[in-house]
């Protein structure tokens, strides 16, 4: 429906009851859609600090996107490197090994 302001209000109420990395990510996405990149970065940063293994690489990638929109390419590059490192250390490395084995 693209009613981002209403979504932000709902997410803010939800986060007041249960502050989770997923909730912060969702609200950050709404801020991003409204081009409020600083607020999106703030939510993504707080979510990253909670160290959710399932969301970390995605959060770094989304924060990198917001940094790019803000013109902070140095910080975006750092976050992309962090996201890649997380992926390479998990399933990414397994998939790379499988790919190498199939090409032998």
Is the separation of the CB atoms in 27 and 35 below 8 Å? no
Q: Which residues contact 90 (CB under 8 A, 6 or more apart)?
A: 57
| pLDDT averaged over 10-residue windows placed end to end, the chain, 104 residues | 93 97 97 98 98 93 98 97 83 56 59
Query: pTM (2 decimals)?
Result: 0.83
Domain layout of the chain by residue ranges: 4-96
CATH 2.60.20.30 fits 4-96, yes or no: no
pLDDT at site 65: 97
pLDDT at site 80: 95
């Amino acid at each position: 429906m693209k009613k981002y302001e209403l979504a932000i209000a709902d997410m803010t109420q939800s986060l007041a009851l249960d502050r989770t990395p997923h909730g912060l990510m969702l609200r950050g996405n709404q801020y991003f859609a409204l081009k409020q990149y600083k607020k999106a970065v703030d939510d993504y940063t707080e979510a990253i600090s909670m160290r959710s293994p399932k969301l970390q690489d995605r959060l770094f990638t989304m924060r990198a996107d917001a940094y790019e929109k803000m013109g902070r390419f140095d910080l975006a590059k750092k976050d992309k490197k962090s996201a890649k490192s997380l992926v390479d250390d998990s399933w990414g490395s397994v998939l790379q090994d499988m790919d190498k084995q199939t090409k032998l």
